[in-house]
Chain A
């Protein structure tokens, strides 16, 4: 059992249902799963819970384990690349009874193997997934519970022979609203109904992201208006990135972040950029920020060395990134994430300007024996002034500038 610390918990963790009946929505799926747990485990050795993220798959498994008293041996499937690894975990799990169940009396049902995110399994997307799952089930000596995000039923169909497929759907909006209201009551947050409604709708049936949004929006004060929720629309819908970042920044130790990075399926480059973007919001103290950025800078060094082939260096990248998250766990306060990455947005919006300047500099370079970069630095500031001073300057014709380019130069402002 966890001891409740003074530290601020993520509400998602704080209010994670402990009982099966408290898991919101998906009643049909719940019933099917419980039926299998109670009576049908001999018919099929495995069950696969599949559906969009944040609808309660993992929560349901954990709650059921608590209620029925079986031990859960959890493995993150995206990490499980070899059969050896599976056996290494699954075999001991069958030979020993878990200590927890000992303490609570003799009603234990033994252990089950829980593989989360099985769609992250095996490199090759077309072949890997399904076959890998079948292999795992065949090899396991204990019942297997798996969870996947892949909504593509056609892809999963071959699994029917070995697994019971249980489909989870998006949680209905009214249920999410009710849940958010409950949390607001417990956290003493005064929230407008319309605000909660908007958060719920925005979540697209993803309870986890709805609760996360609620927490981040009501972080500063204890009230929440519809106005506060307006920024939600600009939010990136990539839940797993959001989730990864949130857990990254609230991490209490390097170990915690390391395992998070190991299990997260987000793109390394996107993560690096987003961490760098949000770092100043996480560390408001200059000394802490400098230290954290030093780690991020090192992570970027390793990213550079990895290039396209040296992926064995990834662990150093992860380590450096993990250190940046835990410079001072004490100073963590929830904050609103900056997404999507600033650089991508900046470069996107400024592209036309930049390419115009690029063309101008290329023309200067051709006449003056310099590179584009040199032209930008040693010529543009002066040519700009000359064009402003003498509007009908023959320089424009000399460099073969288009009227658009002349216009740009005279209006661009100083570097």
Chain B
């Protein structure tokens, strides 16, 4: 990226460029630094962990460290979930590894870097094909595979990679990071406000920084808890919450209508909706821990069926029907108690 075009999203602006700048993740960074001392020894890497914990950041930092400012010429960044077919992935990787070799300004790094994001969205056959690409290309290129769940990646690929697991960003570190960013942007982020953002983000730094930047658009100078609460309220998903409540209160038809709205108007996939359902259930204060656990079991079953079935809306409808039954059972048990 040219220096003149400064990143306007804070997430990009304050993304660490080198491994030294990365906050936290000490164990992982130390291992990676060891590889960087002698890049020839670097194996294929796999980064696994929940979103917003620094996987992409570290991958890009490695590219910076290996190739310097011209990193883009030696790095291919692909989103496996967007580049649908394996053929696209294969073609682009093949072309890339063929033309962009070391020795053309890449220092003494003998390979090109391929960063493949969201690999767990790839189908089984696509992964099998990827395995072959990794074998063929290993002389001229190194892969960094990024995924949320390493269990969704086939064994042969896992065995070819050094796997690093990322856990949620630690609360205190995240809070400090947010306060630092605010200071650099000439804002004062009050500690309570920072706590509020940290809680809301559930360890996802991307959400946290985006929420912070949005809050700064509301008010100059000091960012207080009230402003943050306003942003969080406006930005948190309402439709999914609404859908769940309708279903639990027995209005299946309305719940399903909301589901089709979410899919139709906003284009969310079934998998994404079910992920949000899982999150929202745990936020609901009127359910007991036992009830949440029970519902979570049900959600898990349909999450699995979603991956096997043909129509995600049918599986989601079936889940909503289970919710309606669940709500009815709670009601019945109250009635019995009386």
A-B contact pairs, 7 of them (CB 8 A): A286-B324, A287-B325, A294-B318, A303-B310, A370-B117, A414-B237, A414-B238
| Cross-chain contact A365 with B79 (CB below 8 angstroms) | yes
| Cross-chain contact B217 with A297 (CB below 8 angstroms) | no
8 Å CB contact of A286 from B250, B265, B266:
B250
Residues of A within 8 A of B262 (CB): 415
| Cross-chain contact B309 with A301 (CB below 8 angstroms) | yes
Measured CA separation A289–B250 after assembly (Å): 11
| Cross-chain contact A297 with B234 (CB below 8 angstroms) | no
- A153 contacts partner chain B, Cβ-Cβ < 8 Å: no
| Cross-chain contact B272 with A280 (CB below 8 angstroms) | no
| Cross-chain contact A303 with B309 (CB below 8 angstroms) | yes
| Cross-chain contact B317 with A293 (CB below 8 angstroms) | yes
| Cross-chain contact B314 with A297 (CB below 8 angstroms) | yes
Chain B interface (Cβ within 8 Å of chain A)?
A: 7-9, 11-12, 51-52, 56, 60, 77, 79, 81-82, 117-118, 121, 204, 206-207, 210-211, 213-214, 217-218, 231, 234-240, 250, 252-253, 256, 260-269, 272, 302, 305, 308-311, 313-315, 317-318, 321-322, 324-325, 327-328
| Cross-chain contact A369 with B56 (CB below 8 angstroms) | yes
Chain A interface (Cβ within 8 Å of chain B)?
A: 269, 272-273, 276, 279-280, 286-287, 289-290, 292-294, 296-297, 300-301, 303-305, 342-343, 346-347, 349-350, 353-354, 357-358, 362, 365, 367-374, 376-379, 381-382, 385-386, 389-390, 393-395, 398, 412, 414-415
B8 to A: closest C-beta gap in Å: 4
Measured CA separation A381–B233 after assembly (Å): 11
| Cross-chain contact B118 with A371 (CB below 8 angstroms) | yes
Residues of B within 8 A of A373 (CB): 81, 268-269, 272
Measured CA separation A386–B215 after assembly (Å): 9
Given that A303-B310, A382-B211 are known contacts, is A371 also in contact with B82, CB under 8 Å in the complex? yes
8 Å CB contact of A369 from B117, B268, B305, B315:
B117
| Cross-chain contact B318 with A353 (CB below 8 angstroms) | no
Residues of A within 8 A of B60 (CB): 369
Measured CA separation A357–B235 after assembly (Å): 17
| Cross-chain contact B267 with A354 (CB below 8 angstroms) | yes
| Cross-chain contact B269 with A293 (CB below 8 angstroms) | no
| Cross-chain contact A290 with B265 (CB below 8 angstroms) | no
| Cross-chain contact A415 with B238 (CB below 8 angstroms) | yes
| Cross-chain contact B234 with A385 (CB below 8 angstroms) | yes
Given that A347-B264, A378-B51, A414-B239 are known contacts, is A304 also in contact with B214, CB under 8 Å in the complex? no
